[in-house]
Amino acid sequence: MTKRPSTLESGNAAEADASSRGWFVGDLAGWAAERGESFDPSSTPRQSADVQVKWFVHPPGHARAEWADPDRSISLCVLIEGEMRCDFRSRQGVEEPVRLTRRGDYVIWHGPSWAHSWRTESGCTILTVRWPVAEALKQW
């Protein structure tokens, strides 16, 4: 008998990210495999190759140590509470800072076009959603 994945699951985003650095919807099995861990993708409807969702509570003074390279996703970050500075660097070297200071402030970017980094002085809670760039937009 084949085990069918659950079609309904509830929980808390902050508790669902156990081994995926805050990402709680996405390629959970792939991320676990990268770390040498096992994960049964049939155990949850949160396993997805089409969209990824991250809930992350950053402590005061938290910063990304290095630039994240351009990738193959469009990303949307929404500030839930606190403040965050996001920095972007185009492939041509142009830098663009974005400050998220009010609940609901957001930034969305085309991953193939921008490297990014971030930092928060006072701490914050961020919801990030990303999805693969359509083939036609990869070289946008």
Where are the chain's structural domains? Answer: 13-49, 51-140
Give percent of the chain with pLDDT exceeding 90: 50
Instruction: Tell me the DSSP string of 76-110.
Output: EEEEEEE-EEEEEEETTS-EEEEEE-STT-EEEEE
Does the domain at residues 51-140 carry the CATH identifier 2.60.120.10?
yes
Asked if pLDDT for residue 106 goes beyond 90, the answer is: yes
Q: Which two tokens stand for residue 78?
A: 């929404």
CA distances from 136 to 85, 115, 133 (A): 30, 20, 8
pLDDT at residue 116 is higher than 80:
yes
Q: Return the minimum-mean-pLDDT range out of 21-35, 54-68, 82-96, 114-128.
A: 21-35
